[in-house]
Structure 1
Amino acid sequence: MPSISGNGAVTRSTLRQQIADALRDEVLAGRLQPGKEFTVKEIAEQYGVSATPVREALVDLSAQGLLEADQHRGFRVHEYSVQDYRSIVEARSLVTDGMFQALDQGHQGYVQDPDDRRVVAALVGVRRRGEEARRAADAGDLTVLIGYDLRFWRELGALFCNPYLSDFLHRLRVQSWVCAVQHLRRLTDLRGHLWSGHTELVDALSRRDTSAAREIVAAYNADSLALIERLAGRR
């Protein structure tokens, strides 16, 4: 964690975000298991900071659906069910379909001028994230995959120039990973189980081929849901 210096408000805001990011990464890595309870005091001592930015970070994570607040016992990692995962995947599908509709209809933003040099450069960056995600998926490296996958979708969503839509999709993807991790971590070898179609999706959107993009996302969602349902059934 950074030392506390400079403007107090800025420092506290930075600490708040860094603590939230660190705890989110702990959940995504499976080190903070669903149902795990902890207090503001415990987290503050762990990171060597005051209680205020910790409390704010935990409230932020609660608002994002990663934690549950208990007035008398502190916080606990939210436990998602398979039905929750199914609902999240459905919500993700509605958001991405809205993006593809915007591309079809030529709404303001990237979809209006896909040949703009800034857009082309941004797509190159998104595709690079996709390539890294594919390599991680092929290697069965879940931690690396999650990091690149979240960046991939965040940057892809930003191309549509609707920050509300992009933020909502990012939140859904974080929640879906939190839900999936508890099952995926039980597999000793994840190679061949993880989606790696990021670059194919970018290529389809670069061609403005939304039919292909929809097929890619639909297949991804169906396969992911089937995998989680199968793993959950083994418990």
Structure 2
Amino acid sequence: MPAGGDSSFIRRSTLRQQIADALRDEVLAGRLPSGHPFTVKEIAEQYGVSATPVREALLDLCAQGLLDVEQHRGFKVHAFSADDFVAMVEARTLIIEGIFRSGAEHALRATPAEVLISIRRRADEAERAARAGDLDVLIGYDLRFWRELGSIVGNPYISDFLDRVRVQTWMFAVPLLRGTDDLGARLWHGHSQLAKALVQYDVAEAQRLIAEYNEHSLALVGKRGEHSG
């Protein structure tokens, strides 16, 4: 931050994050579908703000892999393929396996009780939303659940990368799930079981549930069994 405390810089940075968060939510909800084009001017007019924080927010989303820059034309929502999705699931599997290989039980036992309680609360909310087929609510709680779970290792690079991959997997999965019959039956709802295993320091059961979840995810694109999860 500039010396002396530049309040305009703070406001612009806050606005930049708010715009990025709002657009990310629109993408995750499927209201901005893959390939959808737009310009800085359009977004600035939509939110009633100047172009600078909008451009910065869009570039942030590009860095997260959610948007593409179209030379001299603006931006568009990135289109992920089924192969991309399989690679994402494999990537998040390797991240989580790495967490459990690097002393997960010790990390869990060292985690403050209030953090574990919060993880379990997020899990319960995510499971309720999944069983109800409420995709928008599920995504919000699911991302918070895994973000808090990733934070127990105390490595922000790991938790940030896991969060980024999870956002991308949801971005691909949402169009497949929207409009399907009996959505509650199709969504994975083992969050509470996983949280219970973590609270009980049962690493083996947590790993089993995560493998089950990954197989469930791969089944969405007919890739069940091609990766061990």
By how many angstroms is 1:133 displaced?
A: 0.2
Match of residue 141 from structure 1? 134
By how many angstroms is 1:103 displaced?
A: 2.8
User: Residue 114 of structure 2: which of 121, 129, 152 is its match?
Assistant: 121
Alignment CA distance shift 1:157-1:40 (3 Å): same
Task: Give, in whole Å, the separation in 2 of the partners of 1:155 and 1:214.
Answer: 17
Task: Give, in whole Å, the separation in 2 of the partners of 1:191 and 1:201.
Answer: 18
Task: Give, in whole Å, the separation in 1 of the partners of 2:58 and 2:11.
Answer: 17
Matched, 1:199 2:192: yes
Give the unaligned 5+ runs of structure 2. Answer: 1-5, 224-229
Aligned alpha-carbon RMSD (Å): 1.5
By how many angstroms is 1:13 displaced?
A: 0.4
Alignment of 1:42-57 (within 5 A): 42-57=42-57
By how many angstroms is 1:176 displaced?
A: 0.5
Task: Give, in whole Å, the separation in 2 of the partners of 1:154 and 1:132.
Answer: 15
Deviations 1:44-67 (A, max 9, x none): 000000000000000000010100
Match of residue 7 from structure 1? 7
Matched, 1:92 2:92: yes
By how many angstroms is 1:209 displaced?
A: 2.1
Give the counterpart letter for 2:102 in structure 1: A
Match of residue 69 from structure 1? 69
Count matched residues: 218
Match of residue 83 from structure 1? 83
Q: Secondary structure at the match of 1:31?
A: coil
Contact persistence 2:104–2:153 (CA under 8 A): no
Give the counterpart letter for 2:8 in structure 1: G
Task: Give, in whole Å, the separation in 2 of the partners of 1:223 and 1:174.
Answer: 17
Matched, 1:25 2:46: no
> Sequence identity, in percent?
58
Contact persistence 2:123–2:145 (CA under 8 A): yes
Q: Secondary structure at the match of 1:192?
A: helix
User: Residue 215 of structure 1: which of 208, 212, 215 is its match?
Assistant: 208
Tell me whether 90-99 or 185-194 shows the greater mean CA deviation.
185-194
Task: Give, in whole Å, the separation in 1 of the partners of 2:105 and 2:179.
Answer: 43
By how many angstroms is 1:99 displaced?
A: 1.0
